[in-house]
DNA sequence: TCTCTGACTACAA
DNA sequence: ATTGTAGCCAGAG
């Protein structure tokens, strides 16, 4: 595991999400300077595994539109359980982002997130990326 | 070193 | 609304 700075940056942003608030994978990616890095964020959270998830409120990260990406899995059920325990209301299978979104409405700009962005925005290995 | 894959998502058709 | 594709990062084979 080499430069896991990206993962750490993701964890720091997620730890900054207040109780009862949620963010989407895409929003976390954007805070880190990646317009389309949502998938990478999901990869980072997945890497948490069971144990480390203790200090990272992974359950407050949802898919676009407030959907629970984990779906009908043990983890997905746990995520919904935790969110409801924090007072997050579900509308059907989604969370109302306008009501609970960390970055929605009149929420103050997350400073910790910007700090993480600075660290992550460092020189990017310019290895050739193909994939037609 | 290269390819494939995934707790994603914006965009085009 | 549904489908396909491209782009992101890092780990596995």
Question: pLDDT tens, A18-66?
Answer: 999 999 999 999 999 888 999 999 999 999 876 666 789 999 999 999 9
Closest residue by C-alpha to C1' distance, nucleotide C7: A36
What is the tens place of the pLDDT at every residue in A53-112? 678 999 999 999 999 999 888 999 999 999 999 999 999 999 999 999 999 866 555 666
Q: Which nucleotides of C are covered by protein (CB under 7 A)?
A: 6-11
> What's the CA A63/C1' C6 distance, rounded, in angstroms?
19
Q: How many CB atoms lie within 10 A of CB A13?
A: 28
In the complex, which nucleotide's C1' lies nearest to the CA atom of residue A33?
C8
Evaluate whether A10 touches A28 at the Cβ level (below 8 Å).
yes
* CA–C1' gap, A1 and C11, in angstroms: 9
Q: Among residues A66, A20, A37, which one has the least CA distance to residue A124?
A: A37
The helix (run of H) or strand (run of E) holding residue A31 is helix A25-31
A127 beta carbon to strand C: under 7 Å: no
């Amino acid at each position: 595991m080499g430069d896991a700075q990206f993962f750490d940056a993701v964890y720091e942003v997620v730890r900054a999400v207040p109780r009862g608030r949620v963010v989407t994978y895409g929003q976390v990616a954007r805070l880190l300077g990646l317009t389309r890095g949502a998938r990478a964020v999901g990869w980072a959270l997945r890497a948490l595994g069971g144990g480390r998830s203790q200090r990272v409120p992974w359950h407050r990260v949802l898919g676009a539109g407030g959907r629970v990406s984990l779906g009908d899995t043990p983890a997905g059920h746990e995520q919904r359980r935790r969110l409801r325990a924090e007072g997050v209301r579900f509308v059907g299978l989604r969370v109302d982002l306008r009501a609970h979104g960390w970055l929605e409405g009149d929420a103050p700009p997350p400073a910790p997130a910007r700090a993480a962005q600075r660290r992550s925005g460092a020189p990017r290995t310019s290895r050739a990326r193909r994939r037609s």
